[in-house]
A and B are shown apart, each in its own frame.
Chain A
């Protein structure tokens, strides 16, 4: 990669002078001056292969034509791309390709966006070959991806993308010469990550999507540039529609934070919005059943009931819960509606499930509520530390950044993951790791402690830290002395040496980025784990160093927005603590009202209050606590106890089924707004289709209700809400192409080093108590699957074809121990409950561990206990010890 300090060279292309860094490829240099050299096999993301020979150019003083895609520029080079010789060469290459390419453009889905079609047209190429064209045996390839190998031009872009970018290696060129075809393994249908990269990168119609086969021509489609709603990565995608019909999703090279890459969810998951079970009309419960009503009836009913309840019990008898999948505008308006129109601080969002842990740790130690790094810093890092991420499945595109940093830019990777490093059908980040700590999710914290201990004992701490803050360093040192290496080794199964080696690598590097994923954030040690990771950065002097930082990965696409909009009870808009009086005053002044003074309740507290009857009414937007929370929380019983439950939903979920009023909401493909991705980048969401049925964007519903409740929050469009957000929250003023991360707040760091650390030092660094797992049990973890995210993806027909039901993933050795083979049924039971499911043997699952995909987890969730973090109030129910038994 070129750096700004790279030596510049001056070259001529078709008579135009261009200055580019030395080492740039001729084809890229030409692109800079607007000269497009035709090519098939070249792609900026891939290493040059120069196999298609289409990009031949003349270079002065070089006797033969050269391939522009593999020739680096050099000082004084004179390149000509439009001479007769070059033109003839291009023509003859095309002629060879057309010798075998079928002229089936009328039935080819690539027609209209095909490079070969365009070049043929440009060069009016014909082929003099009269021999029979090669014909491949047509074979079934996969449920989502169609191959038509007769059309293949053998540029191998798909194979190289699958290897170099994705690290999956599911595709291979099979055979030799003309008869080379792209296949998976023998006659087996494709089994891979289904990122759709091969479909996107194929220059012709050899690999296409089956979801939109034979349905359209590119010129028939309307396009909307929007942001994917499936995870916190915030990928830009182009949704293509014909009328109200969703046809295809892709992402242009260079687009968005994802640089045109997508994962299975983004590429194949778009059908959730057009699922036939979408709610299309408001529903009101009458005589026990939900019946269809008009919007006027529904809204007036809600307003009347709210007024009654408020008059009888006051504002604080209301609570609200919203999903981090809503737009910033909606999140903002929701909390404003609850705080101003209703008068309650009982507000929570899905960020509570884990993201709050990372946020509170960052606020305590470094005084920011966002990453201090960006995706670019991940790419440029010298050392990357991944802790409990399972990044391929949770945040696949951030995962691609890690892969690129390691594979192309020689970053050193340290992973603390519950993953066996094996090669299977999906990429596995542990395979790229230089220091892999394979540790069950529930013991992740011990491994982090091991790294901190190694840093302190090996004197890898920043030299002047001990002088400036001796009490902190001494307190840390003595706390860690109480934890012996023997205990750490017993708990983690890792030699002390391994920790020392990894700690030395991390401490010695210049640019270190630590990423914490869902598995850590949602665990019982989520908050303390994040603090310990921040301790690690602090001790090694990396917390405020350029290019270094802590990056908790957001699970939902707008968890970060939920935090920044103040949609969690402890925060005001701008992620300011609710106890901050100057902020309260400023916001109250702008809102022209009084902020409620009560201390708000978080999700679990709200449910508890509902159970005992002090909370009377709830607004639940896009969340499903009944389906997501374990039985011990008794979410259903609590919600049944409410006098009024209003749900805004896309589908009739378990929670919505209990509601008194269900209001149909528009999905993110049907509305304007903004999402804030995991790195704190605010990006525009644009509608691809009209709201389905009578559904409405959530913000319109809040706005309409506020008018009926006589505290009008009127906005003509969501942009007006964004304007208001901008006036309140810094960082939302411009939506640029790259985020500007905040800097570490040094006064906050000093506060932390002086006394902030003391609050929970003892609880984080305590001697390890040894607990052994009884025989016949496994450690069950609720885990995210690559093919699903949240509950919407399970309504997407494309993703259901890849993974249609929840299967328990177990390791081969446990399969042998319990005498199980693929597809066998097992009964899992814990002290809390039991369930029966099918097993799937996967080598990447460590022995003694079993994973169940959380999106199919309604039954599994009953097996878990729920631990609630005393500081962040995050409910954790992701791991349990269960006994497993084969059933017939």
Chain B
């Protein structure tokens, strides 16, 4: 079954939201990514056809945004923010920790298929850096200790209580 057939209703709903057809591109790419964990070539072609775009135009959009994957990723997709704010408070160190603990660099996955690492642009949690997003969840104000606990939790239970909701409010400055 093709991607468009499989998600017929959801796609129809998304298309109905946009007066300009091509505006539905990113929402549809999310659907495709949810299906396979990454956007497949055939999904790109189907979406291009649906929106009357050429496949290169769809491909261009996917490569611009870090939240779309063009190859399979692990069960837990670690996305460390590398933008300026996080970099100032040590995102490089976080990446190094992950490298040591999991043995993977940006763009790589662990052999067991559990973890993948990406470095991404700003995730709008600048007050609480360094931070990362794993799948849909934010983990903020990272320390080495916290990172260890997160990874252990994820390995054992598949989730971690350290996740901070949509995002953590900056703690009030103590005077």
Residues of A within 8 A of B (CB): 168-176, 183-186, 422-425, 431
- Is B146 an interface residue, CB under 8 A from the partner? no
- Is B41 an interface residue, CB under 8 A from the partner? yes
- Is B55 an interface residue, CB under 8 A from the partner? yes
The 10 closest A-B pairs by CB, nearest first: A172-B60, A172-B56, A185-B55, A169-B54, A174-B63, A185-B56, A175-B63, A423-B52, A176-B64, A185-B59
> How many residue pairs at the A-B interface have CB separations less than 8 Å?
42
What are 16 A-B residue pairs whose CB atoms fall within 8 Å in the complex? A169-B54, A172-B57, A174-B59, A174-B60, A174-B63, A175-B63, A183-B56, A184-B56, A185-B44, A185-B56, A185-B59, A186-B41, A186-B55, A423-B54, A424-B54, A431-B52
Chain B contacts for A170, CB-based, 8 A: 54, 56
A430 to chain B minimum Cβ distance, whole angstroms, is 12
Contact B64 A183, beta carbon cutoff 8 Å: no
Tell which of A173, A174, A424, A431 has the most Cβ of chain B within 10 Å.
Answer: A174
B31-50 vs A, Cβ < 8 Å mask (1 yes, 0 no):
00000000001001000110
Chain B contacts for A423, CB-based, 8 A: 48-49, 52-54
Contact B53 A171, beta carbon cutoff 8 Å: no
Chain A contacts for B64, CB-based, 8 A: 175-176
Contact A183 B59, beta carbon cutoff 8 Å: yes
B24 to chain A minimum Cβ distance, whole angstroms, is 15
Q: How far does the alpha carbon of A422 sit from the alpha carbon of B56 in the complex, in Å?
A: 15
Q: How far does the alpha carbon of A171 sit from the alpha carbon of B54 in the complex, in Å?
A: 9
Given the known inter-chain contacts A186-B41, A423-B48, please indicate yes or no for A169 contacting B63, CB distance below 8 A. no
Chain B contacts for A175, CB-based, 8 A: 63-64
Look across to chain B and name the residue whose beta carbon is closest to the beta carbon of A424: B54
B86 to chain A minimum Cβ distance, whole angstroms, is 17
Chain B contacts for A172, CB-based, 8 A: 56-57, 59-60
Interface residues of A: mostly helix, strand, loop or mixed? loop
Contact A171 B56, beta carbon cutoff 8 Å: yes
B109 to chain A minimum Cβ distance, whole angstroms, is 19
Chain B contacts for A173, CB-based, 8 A: 60
- B residues 53-96 touching A (CB-CB < 8 Å): 53-57, 59-60, 63-64, 70
Look across to chain A and name the residue whose beta carbon is closest to the beta carbon of B51: A423
Chain B contacts for A171, CB-based, 8 A: 56
Contact B56 A176, beta carbon cutoff 8 Å: no
Look across to chain B and name the residue whose beta carbon is closest to the beta carbon of A181: B63
Chain B contacts for A185, CB-based, 8 A: 44, 54-56, 59
Tell which of A169, A172, A176, A425 has the most Cβ of chain B within 10 Å.
Answer: A172
B125-145 vs A, Cβ < 8 Å mask (1 yes, 0 no):
000000000000000000000
Interface size class of B (residues with CB under 8 A): 10 to 19
Q: How far does the alpha carbon of A172 sit from the alpha carbon of B54 in the complex, in Å?
A: 10
Contact A169 B49, beta carbon cutoff 8 Å: no
Chain B contacts for A174, CB-based, 8 A: 59-60, 63
Q: How far does the alpha carbon of A309 sit from the alpha carbon of B11 in the complex, in Å?
A: 77
Look across to chain A and name the residue whose beta carbon is closest to the beta carbon of B60: A172
Chain A contacts for B48, CB-based, 8 A: 423
B169 to chain A minimum Cβ distance, whole angstroms, is 30
Q: How far does the alpha carbon of A169 sit from the alpha carbon of B60 in the complex, in Å?
A: 11
Look across to chain A and name the residue whose beta carbon is closest to the beta carbon of B48: A423
Tell which of A171, A185, A423, A431 has the most Cβ of chain B within 10 Å.
Answer: A185
Contact B52 A169, beta carbon cutoff 8 Å: no
B44 to chain A minimum Cβ distance, whole angstroms, is 8
Chain A contacts for B55, CB-based, 8 A: 185-186
- B residues 3-53 touching A (CB-CB < 8 Å): 41, 44, 48-49, 52-53
Q: How far does the alpha carbon of A170 sit from the alpha carbon of B53 in the complex, in Å?
A: 10
Given the known inter-chain contacts A169-B57, A170-B54, please indicate yes or no for A176 contacting B63, CB distance below 8 A. yes
Q: How far does the alpha carbon of A272 sit from the alpha carbon of B172 in the complex, in Å?
A: 77
Q: How far does the alpha carbon of A186 sit from the alpha carbon of B64 in the complex, in Å?
A: 13
Q: How far does the alpha carbon of A175 sit from the alpha carbon of B41 in the complex, in Å?
A: 16
Chain B contacts for A183, CB-based, 8 A: 56, 59
Q: How far does the alpha carbon of A406 sit from the alpha carbon of B64 in the complex, in Å?
A: 30
Given A172-B56, A172-B57, 14 other A-B residues pairs in contact with their CB atoms under 8 A: A168-B54, A171-B56, A172-B60, A174-B59, A174-B63, A183-B56, A185-B56, A186-B41, A186-B44, A186-B55, A186-B59, A186-B70, A423-B49, A424-B54
Tell which of B48, B52, B59, B60 has the most Cβ of chain A within 10 Å.
Answer: B60
A135 to chain B minimum Cβ distance, whole angstroms, is 16
Look across to chain B and name the residue whose beta carbon is closest to the beta carbon of A175: B63
Q: How far does the alpha carbon of A173 sit from the alpha carbon of B59 in the complex, in Å?
A: 9
Q: How far does the alpha carbon of A183 sit from the alpha carbon of B70 in the complex, in Å?
A: 15
Look across to chain A and name the residue whose beta carbon is closest to the beta carbon of B49: A423
Chain B contacts for A424, CB-based, 8 A: 54
Chain A contacts for B53, CB-based, 8 A: 169, 423
Q: How far does the alpha carbon of A125 sit from the alpha carbon of B52 in the complex, in Å?
A: 44
Chain A contacts for B60, CB-based, 8 A: 172-174
Look across to chain A and name the residue whose beta carbon is closest to the beta carbon of B53: A423
Chain A contacts for B57, CB-based, 8 A: 169, 172
Look across to chain A and name the residue whose beta carbon is closest to the beta carbon of B64: A176
Q: How far does the alpha carbon of A183 sit from the alpha carbon of B53 in the complex, in Å?
A: 16
Look across to chain B and name the residue whose beta carbon is closest to the beta carbon of A171: B56
Chain A contacts for B41, CB-based, 8 A: 186
A190 to chain B minimum Cβ distance, whole angstroms, is 9
Q: How far does the alpha carbon of A639 sit from the alpha carbon of B47 in the complex, in Å?
A: 56
Look across to chain A and name the residue whose beta carbon is closest to the beta carbon of B52: A423
Chain A contacts for B52, CB-based, 8 A: 423, 431
Q: How far does the alpha carbon of A392 sit from the alpha carbon of B91 in the complex, in Å?
A: 52
Q: How far does the alpha carbon of A175 sit from the alpha carbon of B121 in the complex, in Å?
A: 13
Q: How far does the alpha carbon of A174 sit from the alpha carbon of B70 in the complex, in Å?
A: 12
Look across to chain A and name the residue whose beta carbon is closest to the beta carbon of B56: A172
Q: How far does the alpha carbon of A273 sit from the alpha carbon of B77 in the complex, in Å?
A: 58
Q: How far does the alpha carbon of A185 sit from the alpha carbon of B52 in the complex, in Å?
A: 15
Chain A contacts for B44, CB-based, 8 A: 185-186
Chain B contacts for A425, CB-based, 8 A: 54
A294 to chain B minimum Cβ distance, whole angstroms, is 57
Chain B contacts for A422, CB-based, 8 A: 49
Chain B contacts for A431, CB-based, 8 A: 52
Q: How far does the alpha carbon of A549 sit from the alpha carbon of B60 in the complex, in Å?
A: 42
A811 to chain B minimum Cβ distance, whole angstroms, is 15
Chain B contacts for A168, CB-based, 8 A: 54
B21 to chain A minimum Cβ distance, whole angstroms, is 12
Q: How far does the alpha carbon of A423 sit from the alpha carbon of B46 in the complex, in Å?
A: 12
B166 to chain A minimum Cβ distance, whole angstroms, is 25
Look across to chain B and name the residue whose beta carbon is closest to the beta carbon of A425: B54
Look across to chain B and name the residue whose beta carbon is closest to the beta carbon of A174: B63
Look across to chain B and name the residue whose beta carbon is closest to the beta carbon of A843: B49
Chain B contacts for A169, CB-based, 8 A: 53-54, 56-57
Q: How far does the alpha carbon of A431 sit from the alpha carbon of B49 in the complex, in Å?
A: 13
B92 to chain A minimum Cβ distance, whole angstroms, is 16
Q: How far does the alpha carbon of A175 sit from the alpha carbon of B107 in the complex, in Å?
A: 14
Look across to chain B and name the residue whose beta carbon is closest to the beta carbon of A188: B55
Look across to chain A and name the residue whose beta carbon is closest to the beta carbon of B66: A176
A229 to chain B minimum Cβ distance, whole angstroms, is 31
Chain A contacts for B56, CB-based, 8 A: 169-172, 183-185
Look across to chain A and name the residue whose beta carbon is closest to the beta carbon of B54: A169
Chain A contacts for B49, CB-based, 8 A: 422-423
B81 to chain A minimum Cβ distance, whole angstroms, is 15
Q: How far does the alpha carbon of A518 sit from the alpha carbon of B125 in the complex, in Å?
A: 62
Q: How far does the alpha carbon of A424 sit from the alpha carbon of B54 in the complex, in Å?
A: 7
Chain A contacts for B70, CB-based, 8 A: 186
Q: How far does the alpha carbon of A425 sit from the alpha carbon of B45 in the complex, in Å?
A: 12
Chain A contacts for B59, CB-based, 8 A: 172, 174, 183, 185-186
Tell which of B41, B44, B57 has the most Cβ of chain A within 10 Å.
Answer: B57
Q: How far does the alpha carbon of A260 sit from the alpha carbon of B59 in the complex, in Å?
A: 30
A453 to chain B minimum Cβ distance, whole angstroms, is 32
Q: How far does the alpha carbon of A183 sit from the alpha carbon of B55 in the complex, in Å?
A: 11
Q: How far does the alpha carbon of A170 sit from the alpha carbon of B70 in the complex, in Å?
A: 19
A131 to chain B minimum Cβ distance, whole angstroms, is 16
Q: How far does the alpha carbon of A638 sit from the alpha carbon of B41 in the complex, in Å?
A: 56
Q: How far does the alpha carbon of A431 sit from the alpha carbon of B70 in the complex, in Å?
A: 29
Q: How far does the alpha carbon of A173 sit from the alpha carbon of B52 in the complex, in Å?
A: 19
B33 to chain A minimum Cβ distance, whole angstroms, is 16
Q: How far does the alpha carbon of A431 sit from the alpha carbon of B53 in the complex, in Å?
A: 11
